Amino acid sequence: MEGKEAMISLILSTATRYLLPLLLLFSIFVLLRGHNEPGGGFVGGLVASAALALYSIAYGVAAARRMLRIDPRALIGVGLLIAIGSGLLSMARGLPFLTGLWVERELPLLGKVGTPMLFDVGVFLVVIGVVLTIIFALSEE
């Protein structure tokens, strides 16, 4: 890995440093607007994981893991739990599993909030977890 580290260009590492927060923000934006505009959990998750994958190429997997703080494998579990949990909420109300429930009032920034949105957050986290688990495991070989 030593030789490769040296080969990473200054441009990539500098660009990544500034691009990463932007891309992460963008991914959340894509996730949240997905219900009304093109986007959603799948695309958002892919954008975020692409950003972190780029970071891991520039600075190494260890740095990317520190940056992420959570093990991507845990993200898979958390995401699945959120997705299932969003479906269970409606069952608590006596409705079939995964029926959409919505908060009456529109919230600032987020607009209408409901369980399908929560479900999409679950998808988002699963996608990030899956892609990064694979990429990190491969890079660490």
Residue 12 is a binding residue for another protein (CB under 8 A): no
Determine the Cα–Cα distance for residues 59 and 130; give it in Å rounded to an integer. Answer: 20
Among positions 46, 65, 78, 81, the unique one binding another protein when judged by CB under 8 A: 46
Smallest gap from Cβ 102 to another protein, in A, equals: 6
Residue 87 is a binding residue for another protein (CB under 8 A): yes
Q: Segment near another protein (CB under 8 A), from 8-16, 62-70, 97-105?
A: 97-105
Q: How many helices (H) and strands (E) does the chain have?
A: 6, 0
Contact 90, 99 (CB under 8 A): yes
Which C-beta is closer to another protein: that of 24 or that of 139? 139
User: Which are the contacts of 98, defined by CB distance < 8 A and separation ≥ 6?
Assistant: 86, 87, 90, 119
Residue 58 is a binding residue for another protein (CB under 8 A): no
